[in-house]
Amino acid sequence: MEQRISVVTLGVADLERSRRFFEEGLGWTRSTNDENIAFYQVNGAVLALFPRKELARDANLSEAGKGFGGITLAYCARNREEVDRVLEEARRAGATILKPAQDVFWGGYSGYFADPDGHPWEVAWNPHWRLTADGDVELVP
Protein backbone atom coordinates (compact mmCIF):
# COMPACT_ATOMS: atom_id res chain seq x y z
CA MET A 1 0.00 0.00 0.00
CA GLU A 2 1.31 3.43 -0.89
CA GLN A 3 1.62 5.96 1.95
CA ARG A 4 -1.27 8.36 1.36
CA ILE A 5 -4.79 9.31 2.35
CA SER A 6 -7.00 10.09 -0.62
CA VAL A 7 -10.40 10.94 0.88
CA VAL A 8 -11.63 11.90 4.34
CA THR A 9 -15.41 11.50 4.63
CA LEU A 10 -17.32 13.15 7.45
CA GLY A 11 -20.69 11.73 8.41
CA VAL A 12 -23.07 14.67 8.86
CA ALA A 13 -26.54 14.97 10.36
CA ASP A 14 -27.77 17.58 7.87
CA LEU A 15 -25.95 17.68 4.53
CA GLU A 16 -27.38 21.06 3.49
CA ARG A 17 -26.40 22.67 6.82
CA SER A 18 -22.87 21.29 6.47
CA ARG A 19 -22.61 22.52 2.88
CA ARG A 20 -23.63 26.02 4.02
CA PHE A 21 -21.03 25.93 6.81
CA PHE A 22 -18.18 25.01 4.48
CA GLU A 23 -19.27 27.00 1.42
CA GLU A 24 -20.95 30.14 2.77
CA GLY A 25 -19.27 30.23 6.16
CA LEU A 26 -15.71 29.18 5.32
CA GLY A 27 -15.70 30.05 1.62
CA TRP A 28 -14.88 26.57 0.29
CA THR A 29 -15.83 25.54 -3.26
CA ARG A 30 -17.68 22.29 -3.86
CA SER A 31 -16.25 20.18 -6.69
CA THR A 32 -19.52 18.45 -7.71
CA ASN A 33 -23.23 19.22 -7.88
CA ASP A 34 -24.37 15.85 -6.49
CA GLU A 35 -27.36 16.25 -4.14
CA ASN A 36 -26.43 13.24 -1.99
CA ILE A 37 -22.78 13.98 -1.16
CA ALA A 38 -20.46 16.97 -1.25
CA PHE A 39 -16.84 16.76 -2.40
CA TYR A 40 -14.18 19.42 -1.84
CA GLN A 41 -10.73 19.25 -3.46
CA VAL A 42 -8.16 19.88 -0.71
CA ASN A 43 -4.44 19.88 -1.48
CA GLY A 44 -3.94 16.47 -3.04
CA ALA A 45 -6.90 14.86 -1.31
CA VAL A 46 -10.68 15.16 -1.06
CA LEU A 47 -12.95 16.05 1.85
CA ALA A 48 -16.39 14.48 1.48
CA LEU A 49 -19.57 15.20 3.41
CA PHE A 50 -22.09 12.37 3.44
CA PRO A 51 -25.17 11.77 5.60
CA ARG A 52 -24.03 10.02 8.79
CA LYS A 53 -26.74 7.35 8.60
CA GLU A 54 -25.81 6.48 5.01
CA LEU A 55 -22.07 6.47 5.79
CA ALA A 56 -22.60 4.08 8.71
CA ARG A 57 -24.74 1.84 6.54
CA ASP A 58 -22.14 1.89 3.75
CA ALA A 59 -19.38 0.86 6.18
CA ASN A 60 -21.63 -1.73 7.87
CA LEU A 61 -21.39 0.12 11.21
CA SER A 62 -23.88 1.36 13.79
CA GLU A 63 -24.70 5.05 13.45
CA ALA A 64 -25.10 5.38 17.22
CA GLY A 65 -21.52 6.56 17.89
CA LYS A 66 -21.38 9.47 20.35
CA GLY A 67 -18.69 11.59 21.97
CA PHE A 68 -15.09 11.84 20.87
CA GLY A 69 -14.39 9.50 17.96
CA GLY A 70 -10.62 9.41 18.46
CA ILE A 71 -9.81 11.58 15.44
CA THR A 72 -9.30 15.25 14.66
CA LEU A 73 -8.82 17.10 11.40
CA ALA A 74 -6.24 19.85 11.11
CA TYR A 75 -5.73 23.03 9.14
CA CYS A 76 -2.08 24.13 9.08
CA ALA A 77 -1.65 27.89 9.10
CA ARG A 78 1.28 29.88 7.75
CA ASN A 79 1.68 31.94 10.94
CA ARG A 80 0.17 32.66 14.34
CA GLU A 81 -2.06 35.43 13.01
CA GLU A 82 -3.66 33.06 10.51
CA VAL A 83 -4.56 30.68 13.35
CA ASP A 84 -6.50 33.46 15.09
CA ARG A 85 -8.12 34.59 11.83
CA VAL A 86 -9.25 31.08 10.82
CA LEU A 87 -10.68 30.32 14.27
CA GLU A 88 -12.66 33.57 14.17
CA GLU A 89 -13.85 32.82 10.63
CA ALA A 90 -15.03 29.38 11.76
CA ARG A 91 -16.78 30.89 14.81
CA ARG A 92 -18.62 33.42 12.61
CA ALA A 93 -19.64 30.57 10.29
CA GLY A 94 -21.30 28.73 13.19
CA ALA A 95 -18.48 26.60 14.61
CA THR A 96 -18.03 26.12 18.34
CA ILE A 97 -14.61 27.08 19.66
CA LEU A 98 -13.39 24.09 21.68
CA LYS A 99 -10.04 25.57 22.68
CA PRO A 100 -8.91 29.15 22.01
CA ALA A 101 -5.57 29.53 20.25
CA GLN A 102 -2.57 29.36 22.55
CA ASP A 103 1.11 28.49 22.64
CA VAL A 104 1.48 24.71 22.81
CA PHE A 105 4.05 22.36 24.30
CA TRP A 106 5.61 21.40 20.94
CA GLY A 107 6.57 25.01 20.13
CA GLY A 108 3.66 26.02 17.92
CA TYR A 109 0.39 27.84 18.34
CA SER A 110 -3.01 26.19 17.97
CA GLY A 111 -6.67 26.07 18.89
CA TYR A 112 -9.68 23.88 18.07
CA PHE A 113 -13.18 24.37 16.72
CA ALA A 114 -16.04 21.93 16.17
CA ASP A 115 -17.97 22.06 12.90
CA PRO A 116 -21.80 21.86 13.01
CA ASP A 117 -21.66 18.07 13.43
CA GLY A 118 -19.12 18.25 16.24
CA HIS A 119 -16.09 17.09 14.22
CA PRO A 120 -13.04 18.64 15.93
CA TRP A 121 -10.68 20.68 13.76
CA GLU A 122 -7.31 21.89 14.98
CA VAL A 123 -6.00 25.13 13.50
CA ALA A 124 -2.25 25.17 14.04
CA TRP A 125 0.93 26.98 13.15
CA ASN A 126 3.90 24.64 13.38
CA PRO A 127 7.27 26.40 13.10
CA HIS A 128 8.93 23.03 12.41
CA TRP A 129 6.95 22.31 9.21
CA ARG A 130 6.91 24.06 5.87
CA LEU A 131 3.85 24.92 3.78
CA THR A 132 4.16 25.12 0.00
CA ALA A 133 2.60 27.96 -1.98
CA ASP A 134 -0.39 25.63 -2.55
CA GLY A 135 -0.74 24.94 1.18
CA ASP A 136 0.63 21.40 1.16
CA VAL A 137 2.54 20.41 4.29
CA GLU A 138 6.18 19.42 3.91
CA LEU A 139 7.63 17.63 6.91
CA VAL A 140 11.13 18.94 7.51
CA PRO A 141 13.48 16.27 8.91
pLDDT digits (tens, 9 = 90+) for 112-131: 999 999 999 999 999 999 88
Paired with 42 in beta bridges are 45
Q: Which CATH number is correct for 1-60, 3.10.180.10, 3.40.50.300, 1.10.1200.10, 3.40.50.2300?
A: 3.10.180.10
What is the C-alpha separation between 18 and 33, in angstroms, rounded? 15
Contacts (Cβ under 8 Å, ≥6 apart) of 56: 11, 62, 63, 65
**Predicted local distance difference test score (pLDDT) of residue 110:** 96
pLDDT of residue 62: 81
- What is the tens place of the pLDDT at every residue in 71-116? 899 999 999 999 999 999 999 999 999 999 999 999 999 999 999 9
- Same fold for the domain at 1-60 and the one at 71-134? yes
| Protein fold of 71-134 | 2,3-Dihydroxybiphenyl 1,2-Dioxygenase; domain 1 (3.10.180)
Q: What pTM, to 2 d.p., does this model score? A: 0.87
- Where do the domains of the chain lie? 1-60, 71-134
pLDDT for the residue numbered 65:
73
Give the pLDDT of residue 71: 87
| pLDDT given for residue 5 in this prediction | 83
